[in-house]
Chain A
Amino acid sequence: MKKQTSFSSLLRVLALAASASICAIGAASAHRMWITPSAFTLSGEEQWITVDGAISNDLFFANHVPLTSDALIVTRPDGQSGEIENAATGRFRTVFDVQLNQQGTYRIAETGALFFAEWQENGETQRRRGSLEQLRSGGVLAHDGVRLMRSARRVETYVTLGAPNETALRPTGQGLELRPLTHPNDIFAGEPARFVLLQNGEPAAGLQVEIVKGDDRYAEAVQSQTLTSAADGSISFTPQQVGRYWLASQAEGVAEMDGVPMRQLLTYTLTFEVVQP
């Protein structure tokens, strides 16, 4: 009789559960979560953009499941929250509009966390997922030997109207994030771009970062590279081709919430554009 499930098998379970639902977790399931705007850089006094959010293998084709739309956050150039308009979730993608009526850089993110529980009952493995409160009120946390995992994500992109500014780039200090040293709307082919990976606001060393060029469905071999963050959390890369790119990283660890210890998986993804210098 199976006594204990290893962490890696729990991860597999989570990946399976995720790919079957709308909470796929980045590289663990090879399904990629992304947000992509109709334009990354705009001019003029006021503009609108439309934004797609989806989880798919092909970048950036929405052909698998939509990103959830209940935790979309727009940070305006002055640091205040912006409005999401005309949000709708279809079969394969979530779509929404954002009015840009301030000059500067906007951060557009989808964030969220889901809890997974696994325990043995009468010789069978039981699994539930939901918010911590849902698991608690459902009595899940009371089971003997219950194993918990928290999966938190940040899926984001940046858009600039007029001259870029830094306010919306400030880290929130929560989960896995990327602090741009190169402005994310100022990434040019043949020029190095630098970022610092942060975990709960602190530089995260030794984490793998995957960078994939979009339109991979037309490539014989997927154009991707995997970097490892340095001791100061920094990564540097020089994209050679113009186009849209996807960057992703994950951190595994332990966490404690409301006195309950658990495994934790933090996921971060960024969509950015590389333009001609």
Chain B
Amino acid sequence: MRALVIAAGVLAAGAASADELRVEIELPRMSVAEYHRPYVALWIARPDQSVVSHLDVWYQQEDGPEGAGETWLVDIRQWWRRIGRTLELDTDGVSRPTRPPGQHTMSYQLPALPPGDYLLNVEAAREVGGRELIGVPFRVSSNRVVEASAQGENELGAINMRISR
């Protein structure tokens, strides 16, 4: 929970309540000879890419025939630079195994975001595949429900998000 705890500290001033963030991510089905599930990271950033809250990272958590799964975390480049390299993955409670192609719905509890502009960043990197980073812009103002969406091109499909408080 470390990342979330840090975010809670940063946001405490403006946080009267908690937000529930629902995210739908589509991982496209690839017609390729060699397919590996992508590594995917999710986080909330400000427009200048400074990190507000780390949400999730999906990676191969068991060591496989090709070595430790953490070896390829560096390929989630932007996430690795901003968050991953200083995160204690074993203890943070915000990581989980990779997921197959298809639609995935996640729900996160986070301290209420102060009014302002944000990005929901979703970054995917696939072994012998590509890498894609989608920033879904959204604006928080007072206590309204926020909805936003974006469409990936290669490694990510449709991304929908909704914040309610």
A and B physically associate: yes
CB pair B68 A162 closer than 8 Å? no
Chain B positions 61-120 with a Cβ under 8 Å from a chain A Cβ: 67-68, 70-74, 77-78, 80-81, 84-86
Chain A positions 20-51 with a Cβ under 8 Å from a chain B Cβ: 39, 41-45, 47
Q: How far is the CA of A162 from the CA of B70 in the complex (A)?
A: 10
Chain A positions 98-154 with a Cβ under 8 Å from a chain B Cβ: none
Residues of A within 8 A of B73 (CB): 43-44
Q: Does more than half of chain A's interface fall in helix, strand or loop, or is it mixed?
A: loop
Q: Please classify how large the interface on chain A is, using the bins under 10, 10 to 19, 20 to 34, 35 or more.
A: 10 to 19
CB pair A163 B71 closer than 8 Å? no
Q: How many Å from the CB of A38 to the closest CB on chain B?
A: 13
Residues of B within 8 A of A276 (CB): 77-78
CB pair A43 B77 closer than 8 Å? no
Residues of B within 8 A of A202 (CB): none
Chain A positions 221-277 with a Cβ under 8 Å from a chain B Cβ: 275-277
Q: How far is the CA of A236 from the CA of B135 in the complex (A)?
A: 30
CB pair A275 B71 closer than 8 Å? no
Residues of A within 8 A of B84 (CB): 43
Question: Given that A275-B77, A276-B77 are known contacts, is A44 also in contact with B85, CB under 8 Å in the complex?
Answer: no
Q: How far is the CA of A39 from the CA of B71 in the complex (A)?
A: 12
CB pair B68 A45 closer than 8 Å? yes
CB pair A44 B71 closer than 8 Å? yes
B interface residues (Cβ-Cβ under 8 A, vs A): 49, 67-68, 70-74, 77-78, 80-81, 84-86
